[in-house]
Structure 1
Amino acid sequence: MKAALYLRVSTEEQASGGHSIEAQRQELIKYCTAFDYKIYDFYVDAGYSASTMDRPALKKLLAHCNKYDVALVWRLDRISRDMADLMKILEIFTSYHVIFKSKTENFDTSTASGKLMLNMLGSFAEFERSSISERIQLAHKKILNEGKWRGGKPPLGYEISEDKTLKINEDDALIVKKIFDLSANKNMGTRSIAIHLNTLGYFTRNHKPFTSSSIVRILKNPTYYGEMIHKRQQYVKRNGKKKIVYSDTYQTFKGFFTPIISKDLFCKSEENMNRRKKNRGTSSKIPNLLSGFLFCGDCKEYMLRNRRKNGEVFFTCKNYKHYGKCTHHYISENVVMKAIKKSIPNIEQSKSMIYEMNKKLVEEKEHKLHTIENEIATIQDSIRSLSRRKDKLFELIEREIITETDFINRKKKLSKEKEAKKTLLNKLHSNLNTIKNYQGDKNFMLSIKSFNNKFDTLSFYTQKELLNRIIERIEVFDNDQPYARKKIHIYYKI
């Protein structure tokens, strides 16, 4: 039977030291030898918490379920400390008839009693994680009550002193003061503030341009007027992944450090932000007919969709909206749709031109197919060669020709190279399928006729599918003259 070995440690210190991982590895290798299991592969998550399923090696382990018979861990809490996640993992194993075993705990999912024992151990693992979380929260509160910084990066404008309290970084503090002044006293929006700072040559702590969201995080942080916050950021699990949500019921603690701004200035800024929030439109939950099509003609970035209070849907260049680096490119969805509807009848009338273009494209298609198929054959040979080299490694370590350390390093290098080859292979297969699925002129013309005859009567999803069949890309160019109509270039999938 083939066994997949899953190893995990939760902290970077353990991962860099490697002792826990190596100890687990040796124990599981002995277990496989005792039960005469053939080791399929090692799946190692170094420095990842078991409270979520968002772990690279775990994802690979579950994706490769059809390639092994037994999933083996050193202890149950190595694979999960969350009962709901554990049940999902077991469901995947069961669907592929994979047996799940733990070396230190006596259960085996191939038996009814083993499944019962697993559920009990899973509950205890989740209880232990919750207990650890509670102790950490108490420790955080103790640190905050002492007026110290509880950990992590301090906000822009501050540094951490030797006694673990915050001290002002004068250069960065000037930027923070400017942001609050523009918001509270000049009543500027977050996007306008970001553009203004970028124009002046300021950068965030990570040496990146300011964005609207980075300005919002600063303007909503009470640390700047002298209060430290606790449990404002909370984690919600969705589909095995953690998502950060901001709560309005967070706790505040008096900080023993010098504030950068006054509380009155902070409240005034917050009032202005709330007032603007009521007046502006939203981009969420709007069916987007032009998603994936619409791009800025100048900077080639995609255009972001938004909606006014009156219901009008419009698009703006991403670089302009976030960084103020491009032209405005404000354009209404109705204007773009009118341009599409106006250009399509002209295509249907120019059939002779379509046939000539199609003839040329078919020739190009044949050439591309031949080139990609040759590349795929070469990469497949290379992957087979890497697999043989990996098998050779197992022989070398069994015969004690190489050390355990050499074995791990060489295997890691081969695995990395093999994964890169597989990624490239998948991309080439995708390109090959795209070219093979090219429908040619006949189907293109049928789609054009469908558009002309009944587009406005179709449902949203049918309209979207039809546009996907005929349109490759739409680019919007700013006009040189102010208030003039934007130039729209439509590229069709002929």
Structure 2
Amino acid sequence: MAKKVMKIEPVRQKVIQQLRPKKRVCAYCRVSTDSAKQHTSYVAQVEYYKAYIEKRKDWEFAGIFADEAKSGTQVGKREEFLRMMKECENGNIDIIITKSVTRFARNTIDSIEAIRKLKSLGITVYFEKENISTISEQSEQMLTILSSLAQGESEIISTNNRWGIQKRFRDGSYNISCVAYGYTKNDNGEITIKEDEAKVVRRIYSEYLNGKGSFVISRDLTKDNIPPVRTAEKWNDCVVKEILQNPIYEGDLILQKTYTTEVLPFTKKRNRGEMPQFFIKDNHEPIITREQGEMVRGILEYRRKQMNMDDSGKYQNRYEFSSKIMCRECGGNFRRQKIYIGKPYEKIQWSCKNHIENSRMCRTKPIREDAIKTAYITMWNKLASNRTFILNPMLDPLKNMRVSKEQEEEIENLNNRIMELTEQSHILSRVVQKGYMDSALFIQKQNALNIEIEEIKKKRNSLFDNNGFETEIAGTERLLEIIKYNPEITEAYDENLFLHTVNKVLIGSNGEITFRLINNLEITEYANKGGGKA
């Protein structure tokens, strides 16, 4: 007996066409990094693509996404590309037009991953130069080949450039493009002393050898209105330490302090022994003596060991309050200080860096570490004890606050439409169960309903995403979960609990200690001589 086979027609494209008669089409391009040319290039491409898209009656212009033409080799650095992908995920784009495969991405993996993701969302990418559309079955194979060729071209160019630089390193003919503070280059490209800056370098070495720390030196340079180094906004201890550790001031030159990775995505890294370095002794006139340089290195090494720092100059034991405490008055970060060192009542306090540099600029006084910890314990116990009155009621209002009145009405309409379609789906199910409808026709109609529900949900989610309080909602849910597993009153300060629940600590000039929690809720306690109090 022959089997009866019934064909169920595909309905996705038909339903999408009914919901969106016009395809929303955008363009992706890269514009010149030159500020003067960038505007002209952007305007020209907007005009071109707008006219190109508006020629089609079934297309609707959905904007242009343009990144600066720094590099097509790394998608992660292209903000407009990522914004375009987000718009695609939100269901606001149907077709993307771009000039060529090389304009889209020169990294094969990133290119194919992006195209596959777009195809899974039902979005077509059209490459003008190659005349390839990702809607075709053979598109991925062609695009893989073209992307690989573009990536290979980038890697070959990079390899050739690297080989040329390495050759100049070896024979000592490499001319550094940017010389260190204290030096300049003459017409022949030779490194020569810039006397006004060299005077500052000598002062830094002299003061460091006389016992001053890098922070104090930077503070004094700022007070004396000395212009900072060309690559820094102002003098700070890091800039001073960089000068103290640079052998260029002894007349020597080290080449290849940094290197670029050989394969895509190209990444610039500090050379910590991965690549050879080239040392040229007595390359140019020194600013300091070799004896001074040797003594400074000895002091730096001693202080590094005393402060428990690793070879890169970073603290091995970070404190839980590091980078967490900010000044409410001036926005400055707080630094850790020891007071009454060596005495039985030695204490730790945190001070605003701007107050340290100039007390007239910031009035916020230092605060004791034990006061912050006591205030945190008080705050946390209040929050945990009153979670049903503070945290629980926050969730629904936060979700409701995510949209404007117009968007709220639109979301309500979309919700009503989803309910209508869901009800239609239930009716269809009851009809087919009673035998009033053929199974093949039922599946076809059911698919059409599911696709329409899916599209409406995408539109609704897009409204939420554009005006959401995701951080606040997720943070509140996380706090409730932490309290659920730590319901008891906290008597002792818990470092892990602090790190998992607090984003920032804001210190006011009148002793206010405000804890900004992971859901952006701010709770204030007050410090007194004994610590924190409500």
The correspondence of residues 243-322 of structure 1 with structure 2, limited to 5 A, is: 244-248=269-273, 249-253=276-280, 257-281=284-308, 286=318, 288=320, 292=324, 294-296=325-327, 299=330, 301-304=332-335, 315-319=350-354
Alignment pair present for 1:6 and 2:28: yes
Alignment pair present for 1:338 and 2:360: no
Q: 1:61 aligns with which of 61, 69, 84?
A: 84
Q: SS of 1:454's equivalent?
A: coil
Distance change >3 Å, CA 252–CA 130, structure 1 → 2: farther
1:175 deviates by: 0.7
Match of 1:400 in 2: none
Alignment pair present for 1:49 and 2:85: no
Match of 1:419 in 2: none
Code of the residue aligned with 1:6 in structure 2: it is: Y
1:50 deviates by: 1.6
Deviation digits for residues 132-155 of structure 1 (CA, Å, limit 9, x no counterpart) = 22233344456665656432x432
Tell me how far apart the structure 2 counterparts of residues 431 and 160 of structure 1 sit (CA, whole Å): 53
Across the two proteins, how many residue pairs are aligned to each other?
A: 412
Distance change >3 Å, CA 142–CA 67, structure 1 → 2: same
Code of the residue aligned with 2:228 in structure 1: it is: T
Q: SS of 2:138's equivalent?
A: helix
Tell me how far apart the structure 2 counterparts of residues 99 and 81 of structure 1 sit (CA, whole Å): 19
Match of 1:222 in 2: 247
The correspondence of residues 201-216 of structure 1 with structure 2, limited to 5 A, is: 201-206=225-230, 208-216=233-241
Alignment pair present for 1:199 and 2:227: no
- Please tell me whether the aligned partners of residues 364 and 509 of structure 2 are also in contact (alpha carbons under 8 angstroms): no
Q: Which runs of 5+ in 1 are unaligned?
A: 359-365, 367-371, 381-424, 479-484
Q: SS of 1:159's equivalent?
A: strand
1:337 deviates by: 1.4
1:464 deviates by: 5.5
Deviation digits for residues 161-191 of structure 1 (CA, Å, limit 9, x no counterpart) = 33333332211111112222333x3354322
Tell me how far apart the structure 2 counterparts of residues 433 and 154 of structure 1 sit (CA, whole Å): 44
- Please tell me whether the aligned partners of residues 167 and 258 of structure 1 are also in contact (alpha carbons under 8 angstroms): yes
- Please tell me whether the aligned partners of residues 375 and 531 of structure 2 are also in contact (alpha carbons under 8 angstroms): no
- Please tell me whether the aligned partners of residues 191 and 322 of structure 1 are also in contact (alpha carbons under 8 angstroms): no
Match of 2:183 in 1: 158
1:299 deviates by: 4.8
- Please tell me whether the aligned partners of residues 477 and 487 of structure 1 are also in contact (alpha carbons under 8 angstroms): no
Distance change >3 Å, CA 194–CA 11, structure 1 → 2: same
Tell me how far apart the structure 1 counterparts of residues 43 and 272 of structure 2 sit (CA, whole Å): 37
- Please tell me whether the aligned partners of residues 195 and 323 of structure 1 are also in contact (alpha carbons under 8 angstroms): no
Tell me how far apart the structure 1 counterparts of residues 260 and 271 of structure 2 sit (CA, whole Å): 9
1:258 deviates by: 2.8
- Please tell me whether the aligned partners of residues 317 and 330 of structure 1 are also in contact (alpha carbons under 8 angstroms): yes
Distance change >3 Å, CA 245–CA 305, structure 1 → 2: farther
Deviation digits for residues 73-123 of structure 1 (CA, Å, limit 9, x no counterpart) = 212121222234334433542453322332222543334421122222222
Tell me how far apart the structure 1 counterparts of residues 140 and 484 of structure 2 sit (CA, whole Å): 59
TM-score (normalised: structure 1): 0.62
1:339 deviates by: 4.5
1:378 deviates by: 11
1:215 deviates by: 1.6
Alignment pair present for 1:72 and 2:104: no
Deviation digits for residues 315-343 of structure 1 (CA, Å, limit 9, x no counterpart) = 44333678897699665644421344468
- Please tell me whether the aligned partners of residues 229 and 253 of structure 1 are also in contact (alpha carbons under 8 angstroms): yes
Match of 1:455 in 2: 490
Match of 2:62 in 1: 40
Code of the residue aligned with 1:204 in structure 2: it is: P
- Please tell me whether the aligned partners of residues 148 and 164 of structure 1 are also in contact (alpha carbons under 8 angstroms): no
The correspondence of residues 306-455 of structure 1 with structure 2, limited to 5 A, is: 315-319=350-354, 333-341=369-377, 453-455=488-490
Q: Which runs of 5+ in 2 are unaligned?
A: 1-22, 309-313, 339-346, 391-396, 409-462, 512-526
Tell me how far apart the structure 2 counterparts of residues 221 and 295 of structure 1 sit (CA, whole Å): 32
Match of 2:214 in 1: 190
Code of the residue aligned with 2:66 in structure 1: it is: V
1:295 deviates by: 3.8
1:285 deviates by: 6.9
- Flag the structure with more relative contact order, 1 or 2, with Cα contacts below 8 A and sequence separation at least 6: 2
- Please tell me whether the aligned partners of residues 232 and 246 of structure 1 are also in contact (alpha carbons under 8 angstroms): yes
Q: Percent identity?
A: 17
1:211 deviates by: 0.8
Tell me how far apart the structure 1 counterparts of residues 143 and 304 of structure 2 sit (CA, whole Å): 50
1:209 deviates by: 2.9
Distance change >3 Å, CA 467–CA 139, structure 1 → 2: closer
Q: SS of 1:258's equivalent?
A: coil
The structure in which a higher percent of residues are helix is: 1
- Please tell me whether the aligned partners of residues 233 and 245 of structure 1 are also in contact (alpha carbons under 8 angstroms): yes
Distance change >3 Å, CA 138–CA 343, structure 1 → 2: closer
CA-based RMSD of the aligned residues comes to 5.6
Tell me how far apart the structure 2 counterparts of residues 348 and 44 of structure 1 sit (CA, whole Å): 48
Tell me how far apart the structure 1 counterparts of residues 295 and 107 of structure 2 sit (CA, whole Å): 43
The correspondence of residues 85-100 of structure 1 with structure 2, limited to 5 A, is: 85-100=110-125
The correspondence of residues 476-487 of structure 1 with structure 2, limited to 5 A, is: none
